[in-house]
Amino acid sequence: MRVIIVGASTLGRGLAEKLIGLGTQVVVVERDGERAEDIAENLDCSVIHGEGTRPDILDKAGIEDADAVVACTDHDQDNILIGLIARGAGVRETILRTDDAQFLVVAKRLGFHHVLNPPQATAEIIADALRGVDTIELSTLVRGDIRFLGVIARGEVVGKRISEVIMPKQSSIVGMYRGQEFLFAAADPAIEEGDEVLVVTAEEHSGEIDALLTTPAPG
């Protein structure tokens, strides 16, 4: 897996370290020369010193071949622009950092579903999301051991209505994204291949949720 991290902030550096430890091919893009030099000297990854909002810099980082881009600079506007460039390049997974609630709304309106707020975002959460692209943890613990997950539907569950999916205890489907359209569970829509199904569940059932919504159909 190849991941481009734009912004070597504390979050960006921590994520790079985590992903490198998992064997992921990492490229870090950083505008600050000292930060870029520090990453190059201390981490086993490629480093591009340059402005991450410039398409030519992202091309140099190999965005056309990237499986994911994480935009975690200190500037919300830059992160949204980086996300748009990544989407235009066909990157399948884009995760944005935003500090300001106004830009969170903007990012959602632009169709970015995976937007993290720094007080909640940790390198471990983002790394887990990138390791299992079909299952994205959209938040930290909501309260206690409750988690909010987004699972890309495929296999046996496709064609069933939400009401027909037998969920584990302490778990509920709240809706799903189909492209940029959000479908509420109350309308009981049928699940289509590639829908992002949003689930609230107890932490202990996260693995069951993934299996339930992604198990291939028999035969």
Predicted confidence (pLDDT) per residue in 56-107, tens digit: 999 999 999 999 999 999 898 999 999 999 999 999 888 888 877 777 778 8
Reduce the DSSP state of residue 86 to 3 states and report it.
helix
Note the pLDDT of residue 144: 52
161 vs 6: CA distance, rounded Å: 39
Q: What's the rounded mean pLDDT across residues 18-33?
A: 93
pLDDT one-digit tens code per residue, 120-169:
555 555 665 565 545 554 544 344 566 777 788 888 999 999 999 999 88
Domain 146-214 bears CATH identifier 3.30.70.1450: yes
Domain with CATH 3.30.70.1450 in the chain: 146-214
Tokens 């064997």, located at residue: 23
Q: Which CATH architecture does the domain made up of 2-133 adopt?
A: 3-Layer(aba) Sandwich (3.40)
- Please tell me the predicted confidence (pLDDT) of residue 55: 94
Determine what percent of the chain is predicted with pLDDT higher than 90.
Answer: 43
pLDDT of residue 151: 85
| CA 168 – CA 209 distance, rounded (Å) | 8
User: CA distances (Å), 179 to each of 86, 111, 172, 183, 193, in order?
Assistant: 17, 8, 21, 10, 11
Domain with CATH 3.40.50.720 in the chain: 2-133
Amino acid at 81: L
Q: What's the average model confidence in pLDDT over 13-40?
A: 93
* Residue 37 scores a pLDDT above 70: yes
Q: In degrees rounded to 5, what are phi and psi of residue 95?
A: -120, 130
pLDDT for 141: 39
